[in-house]
Structure 1
Amino acid sequence: MRRLPARLRPRSLRTRLVLIATVLATAAVLVCQATGLTLMRSWLIGQVDDRLTDFRPPSPVYRDIASGRAPAHRPPDHEALPSDFRVYFYDAEGELLPDSLGSGRGTPRLARTVTAGGLADGRPATVPAEDGDGSWRVVADSGPDGMRAVVALPLDTVRDATSRLLWFSLAIGAVTAAGVTLLGGAAVRLGLRPLTRVEHTARSIAGGRLEQKVADTSPDTEVGRLGIAFNTMLDQLRAALHRKDRTERRLRRFMADAGHELRTPLTSLQGFAELLLHEPHMSPGRRREAHELIAQNADRMSRLVDSLFLLAKLGEAPGTEHGPVDLLSLAADSIAASAVRHPGRRITLAPLERGEGDGSGELDVVEGSGDPDQLAQVLANLLDNACTHTPPGARVQVHVGSLRVGPRTGGADRQGRTSAGPALPGGARAHVIEVVDDGPGLTPEDARQVFDRFYRAAPASGAPRDSGSGLGLAIASTIAEAHGGRLELDTGPGEGCAFRLLLPAGPS
């Protein structure tokens, strides 16, 4: 099947729909008219056949024709009533006789002999006219003494009727095509108006107006369902773009912060190394001091790089190897290690007490599942954070126990609580290690950023401003998420801080 040239193909959907509707409607009208025309022609010819078969020449007519006399009952031509019937006779030898009955113009083209005509008795047939392009309907009948008669009727009336009906059908088809083109174009334009609005919305969005939405969202129509799908796609696209923007901002901030943190020790290393190179006769005391400062800055840079490597490793390998962990013993060991690093601090261990929890007021063994080394690092970071950012006389407590996840207990979001991880399923059982202090607490703005990488809140009085790298809580939160739990903070100005590590009691 040959395809239309590209310049002749309709490009608009509206044009295609109107063209298809016009072709189908016109074809349907023409098929109906052709069927009616065929049925009418068949019915008219049937009427002619009935007239032919009902007519029989009387026997005396055959004898009169054979003897060469005019039929006795035949009226004069001027008294004969007009009739379309024509009757022709064949003699006993099968030769066509010149005499015929009937009047009117035109004659059928009949064979000169019976055998050449091939007409069967009582079976109507169509033969052409002797002159012109008309046709006749004829039927043969046997008479006495071997004679035969052929009765003929012209089909002029049938031809005229069918011709008029044909022209009428063509006119109806043309009117139908024109009407469908005009009315169908208006109907299609009206029906495609919602789709046109979707098109305009898509163009606006392509032009940069990402806040646009499709208004036609009825689930009962195809365009409405398209609008729903389009809006859903837009929401996902906006969310993806926002995530991309946040990721890019966080990445730029991370790179800037990492560069800033690494630049300080690198600058110190470079300065003291140049000092040793340019002053070879430096006193032993100053040389030893320079060596110590170089070692301190190298150690600081090494710890920073190790922290960054750990964050990258945790992000790439979320499947942490789990094993049974005694959280009570883990908390006790972490408190002991923190007491060595902060000898002036008093850190106590107590059971978890919650109105909706399972705390009994006594220290019981709480066995969870996870990586002991990583969980110990989380506790070490939380305890160092509490000791660094609270006044020297502030009290620090570690609570160990189990609870049911909820807004009043833990694991779920609520006002005044922040976390970098998602909430745990409500009502689920979780094991908890909580580090609580009665220090000055954090403002809401600081609390929202406390789990960000390289973020450092103002330390307590007496602590160095640049102590720590600002990665401890980010590492602790990442480890908690890798264990299927979360690290959260409840705080407020003047209310102290309560960092809570929650681990699922069942398989994570």
Structure 2
Amino acid sequence: MRTVPGRLRPRSLRTRLVLIATVLATAAVLVCQATGLTLMRSWLVGQVDDRLTDFRPPEPVYRDIADGTAPAHRPPPHETLPSDFRVYFYDADGRLLPASLGSGRGEPHLAEDITARDPADGRPATVPARDGGGSWRVVADSGPDGMRAVVALPLDSVEEATSKLLWFSLAIGAFAAGGVMLLGGAAVRLGLRPLTRVEHTARSITSGRLEQNVAGTSPDTEVGRLGIAFNTMLDQLRAALHRKDRTERRLRRFMADAGHELRTPLTSLQGFAELLLDDPDMSPARRREAHELIAQNADRMSRLVDSLFLLAKLGDAPTTEHGPVDLLSLAADGIAASAARHPDRRIALAPLGAGYGADPAELDVVEASGDPHQLAQVLANLLDNACTHTPPGTRLQVRVGSLRAGPRTGGTDRPGRTSTGPPLPAGTPAQVIEVADDGPGLTPEEAQQVFDRFYRVPPAPDALRDSGSGLGLAIASTIAEAHGGRLELDTAPGAGCTFRLLLPASGGT
């Protein structure tokens, strides 16, 4: 950016504040002094006017002036004029007579001829001096036989007092400006010390010290509130950086796990395909077996890719359809579909209170809001997980109902409960589907990783050997969070597992 020649460089905030305070203080002092000066001059001129209007030449003086018996510039013997007064007389024709009363230095510049109306009687006016500077205050008065007199007083004392006060005002203004500049600079520097701390903290953070905060913040001052906002911004920035680091680590781990999972079926596909190509005389039985293994590995890879695509899609568009969902019908359909896939399993449908001794006959319609297809997939993943990781003969139960979040009922954190979603506030009404089993349960270490992508719990003895891709529970948890709910696990070694899907209720329960 080019610098404009001759343009003033921007000053600091401290300098601008001091300059503004100095200008305002000086202007206030000068305005006050100018007002006082104007009032004092008006008062002094008023005093002169009062003296002029109170003085009237005696009638004998008019006769002596008209007869020419009064000496010019000297008072008559029978009348002594006050000090500084000058009296000039005009005849009946308005001509200035040479005779005048009073003496002293200087005289006013008066007109040689005046009319009957100019100047008006009793109205003081200001006229310049005849010689040199200065001015006079004059007032006209009518006498006998059409004569008129003009009484004059010099304004030297008024102008001298006004001049002294003016110079005094300027000196006071200069002193005030200097004092405000010196003391104001110190006061502004002291007042901006918290802002300076914010500046130093910001510089330290830019140099890499991200854990620093602004100290001494107070909500009672503007700078203190700025410091609080700055600290809040820093906390959010640090939290975002930590989330970014965790996301990057999880992404690297996810890519490594995905590559590892895809490598196995790809290797199998490549191996069996090469076997078919290298041995064209292979027996029909072995050829059929190779074809079946290729199909199985291709299906496994296809399901794995579909799961990965679904996870990515859930992150971009959490819910494609949002509407009322009957959780009881959803549970019944899920149990029927799971029975078709696992005919050797017996899965019961019960009310939510069945886990706490309620009568199974209390089943009732429970309606939630969400995407029915995604919620059905959550239930299918939970049932497949239970059928896969529990030994044959394990009792499975799907429970449907409503609750208020709490440590005993669900929705909040407590020892032995695991979830990747945030806890619901205690007392929040929620609609619930539980998938519970009385199998061997999980250790705390296994429970902490059960919702991680590609994590597989070691299968129980005599459990189904195909342990899946390790993405089912991760997908279910993602769908639950996309609906504003939570998927959690209550388990302990030997106590079975209870997976609980909680969806926020639209109204109170």
TM over 0.5: yes
Unmatched runs of 5 consecutive residues or more in structure 2: none
Whole-Å Cα distance in 1 between the matches of residues 14 and 32 of structure 2? 27
1:432 matched residue in structure 2: 433
Q: 1:375 to 1:66 in 2, by over 3 A?
A: closer
Post-superposition shift, 1:25?
1.1
Change (3 A) 1:289 1:164: same
Distance (whole Å) between structure 2 residues aligned to residue 296 and residue 376 of structure 1: 25
Moved more, 215-224 or 10-19: 215-224
Whether the 8 Å CA contact 1:18–1:184 is kept in 2: the answer is yes
Structure 1 position 235 matched with structure 2 position 235: yes
Alpha-carbon contact 2:351-2:401 (below 8 Å) kept: yes
Aligned identity (percent) is: 74
Output one character per residue of 1:187-235: Cα deviation in whole Å (capped at 9) or x when no partner.
Answer: 1222222222222223333333332323344222222222333333333
Return the letter of the residue paired with 2:188: V
- Counterparts of 1:331 and 1:351, CA distance in 2: 13
Could you say which residue in structure 1 is the equivalent of 2:50? 50
- In 2, are the aligned partners of 1:403 and 1:431 still within 8 Å (CA)? yes
Q: 1:146 to 1:424 in 2, by over 3 A?
A: closer
After superposition, residues 96-245 of structure 1 pair within 5 angstroms as 96-115=96-115, 118-245=118-245
Superposed CA deviations along residues 383-419 of structure 1, whole A, max 9, x for unmatched, are 44334434x4673432424352321122222122111
Structure 1 position 166, deviation (Å):
0.5
Match of 1:395 in 2: 394
Shift of 1:172: 0.6
Change (3 A) 1:41 1:86: same
Residue 461 of structure 2 corresponds to residue 468 of structure 1: no
> Which residue of 359, 380, 389 maps to 1:361?
359
Give the equivalent residue in structure 2 for 1:90.
Answer: 90
**Contact (CA 8 Å) 1:216, 1:223: kept in 2 or not?**
no
Q: Distance in 2 between matches of 1:423 and 1:330?
A: 29
Moved more, 299-308 or 145-154: 145-154
Q: Please list, as runs of the form range in 1=range in 2, the aligned pairs for 1:216-365 lying within 5 A after superposition.
A: 216-315=216-315, 316-318=317-319, 319-320=321-322, 322-324=324-326, 325-326=328-329, 329-330=332-333, 332-333=335-336, 336-337=339-340, 339-340=342-343, 343=344, 347=346, 349=348, 351=350, 359-365=357-363
Q: Could you say which residue in structure 2 is the equivalent of 1:409?
A: 409
SS at match of 2:473: helix
Match of 1:367, SS state, is coil
Take 2:248 and 2:109, find their aligned partners in 1: how far apart are those partners? 98
Q: What TM-score does the superposition give when structure 2 sets the normalisation length?
A: 0.86
Query: Per-residue displacement from partner, 1:337-361 (whole Å, max 9, x unpaired)?
Result: 3543xx4xx645374675996x523
Residues 212-263 of structure 1, C-alpha deviation per residue, up to 9 Å, x if partnerless? 3233442222222223333333333333333333333333322222222112
Specify the SS of the correspondent of 2:360.
coil
User: Secondary structure in 2 aligned to 1:455?
Assistant: coil
Task: Report the Cα offset of residue 453 of structure 1.
Answer: 1.6
Give the TM-score normalised by structure 1. 0.86
When residues 350 and 286 of structure 1 are mapped into structure 2, their CA distance, relative to the original with a 3 A threshold, is closer
User: Per-residue deviation at 1:21?
Assistant: 1.3
Closer/same/farther in 2, CA of residues 257 and 122 from structure 1, 3 Å limit: same
Partners of 2:263 and 2:249 in 1: CA distance: 21
CA pair 9-21 structure 1, distance change in 2 beyond 3 A: farther
Tell me, in whole angstroms, the C-alpha distance in 2 between the residues paired with 1:117 and 1:402.
110
The answer to whether the 8 A contact 2:432-2:500 is kept is no
Structure 2: how far apart are the matches of 1:121 and 1:73?
Answer: 23
Is the alpha carbon distance of 1:503 and 1:113 closer, same or farther for their aligned partners in structure 2, counting shifts above 3 Å? Answer: closer
* Higher deviation after alignment, 313-322 or 221-230: 313-322
Partners of 1:179 and 1:51 in 2: how far apart? 43
Counterpart in 2 of 1:74? 76
Query: Within 1, Cα distance between the matches of 2:383 and 2:92?
Result: 137
Is residue 81–residue 102 contact of structure 2 (8 Å, CA) maintained in 1?
A: no
Q: Give the partner amino acid of 2:90.
A: Y
CA RMSD of aligned residues (A): 3.4
* Per-residue deviation, residues 303-336 of structure 1 (Å, max 9, x unmatched): 1122223334444241355443436634642563
C-alpha separation in 2, matches of 1:73 and 1:11: 71
Change (3 A) 1:117 1:22: farther
Change (3 A) 1:335 1:301: closer
Q: CA deviation at 1:282?
A: 3.8
- Spell out the pairing of 1:434-449 with structure 2 (5 A cutoff): 434-439=435-440, 441-449=441-449
Task: Please state whether the residue corresponding to 2:230 is helix, strand or coil.
Answer: helix
Cα deviation per residue 1:166-200 (whole Å; 9 max; x = unaligned)? 10010011011111111111112222222222222
Is the CA contact (8 Å cut-off) linking 2:272 and 2:294 kept in structure 1? yes
AA matched with 1:336:
A
